[in-house]
Amino acid sequence: MQHFSEPREVRAKEFLKLERKTHSVIALVSANQSFSERLCRVTEAEIDRTVVKRFDSVDQLVEMLPSWRDRLCLVILDQCAAKKLDEHLATWVCNQSSAKIACAYGDPDKSRSLITSPLYPTVVSSFFPVHLNFDSWISMLKLCLSGHSYVTPELLTSATLTATDPPNHAGGREDMTPAKPGNRVAASALDRLTVREIEVLEHVARGRQNKVIAAQLGLSENTVKLHIHHIISKLGVHNRTEAAMLYATSRL
């Protein structure tokens, strides 16, 4: 499997030759070959009726999209591609193809800014390490293909810890930098929650499982699940991951 350096007409013909038995296309976008040939072959072997195509940029992906947009189901960007992603272009890709977009990152510290940017969660819905073993990689792709979003706990925890660092004081004067509009919106949304729900959400944002949260707060696991259900409903988000990121944003 090669990157697309051939003339446009050749590439278009190649895509038009996709076999009818192919049900879906997964696009891997990386300018530095983050996604190996072996990884592509394993993905095609393990996910039924799926073809994997590699691109050097989102622009290349967009160029070929009209030929097979009905089959595009998932776009995975490496860290560099995700950092350069234009939000409007990515939204257009999603609208044209109904594809999910995920980021396979290499450095969790460098990805921290991505998960707190406007690109998340409306456009880039999942973040996971690029150097997963094959079994974990396939499981992660299947999770994305089923319509779920996922962010690794290390990113959620690091973002929350950064957000909750004490304010910087210089010469005894408090930092008077005004809060960002996005932070105020997030804080306003959290005002809808009860004190207990805020406590539960803080633990969720630190990547803790329900049973751990229950033990920490002296609650039953079912009660924790109920609180999380109420939190998601009140915040108007789709899942606990989005709720956790809203909490992290409010603390910036």
Average predicted confidence (pLDDT) for the chain? 77
Superfamily assignment of 8-151 in CATH?
Answer: Response regulator (3.40.50.2300)
Rounded alpha-carbon distances, angstroms, from residue 10 to 4, 17, 22, 200: 9, 11, 20, 55
Query: Can you give the pLDDT at residue 172?
Result: 38
Query: Does position 5 have pLDDT exceeding 60, yes or no?
Result: no
Contact present, 76 and 26 (Cβ < 8 Å): yes
Query: Can you give the pLDDT at residue 168?
Result: 45
Beta bridge partners of 53: 27
Between the ranges 5-9, 138-142, 204-208, where is the mean pLDDT highest?
A: 138-142
Query: Can you give the pLDDT at residue 167?
Result: 43
Number of C-alpha atoms within 13 angstroms, CB side, residue 159?
Answer: 30
Tell me which fold the domain 158-164+178-250 belongs to: Arc Repressor Mutant, subunit A (1.10.10)
Query: Can you give the pLDDT at residue 19?
Result: 47
Q: With the C-alpha atoms ordered 49, 79, 151, 212, is the resulting torsion angle positive or negative? A: positive
pLDDT > 70 fraction of the chain, expressed in percent and rounded: 75
* Residue 182: alpha-carbon gap to chain centroid: 19
CA 140/CA 188 separation, integer angstroms = 33
> Is residue 231 classed exposed, middle or buried when 0-12, 13-18 and 19+ CB atoms within 10 A define those classes?
buried
Beta bridge partners of 102: 76, 126
Q: Collapsing DSSP states into helix, strand and coil, what is residue 71?
A: coil
For the chain, the structural domain boundaries read 8-151, 158-164+178-250
Which candidate, 119, 26, 39, places its Cα nearest to that of 79?
Answer: 119
Q: Collapsing DSSP states into helix, strand and coil, what is residue 54?
A: strand
pLDDT > 90 fraction of the chain, expressed in percent and rounded: 20
Query: Can you give the pLDDT at residue 178?
Result: 41
- Higher-pLDDT residue of 65, 36: 36
Strand ranges, E, within 135-197? 169-170, 173-174
Q: How confident is the model at residue 184 (pLDDT cuts 50, 70, 90)?
A: low
pLDDT digits (tens, 9 = 90+) for 80-124: 888 877 777 777 787 778 888 999 998 887 777 777 666 665 678
Query: Can you give the pLDDT at residue 24?
Result: 87
Query: Can you give the pLDDT at residue 169?
Result: 41
Query: Does position 23 have pLDDT exceeding 50, yes or no?
Result: yes
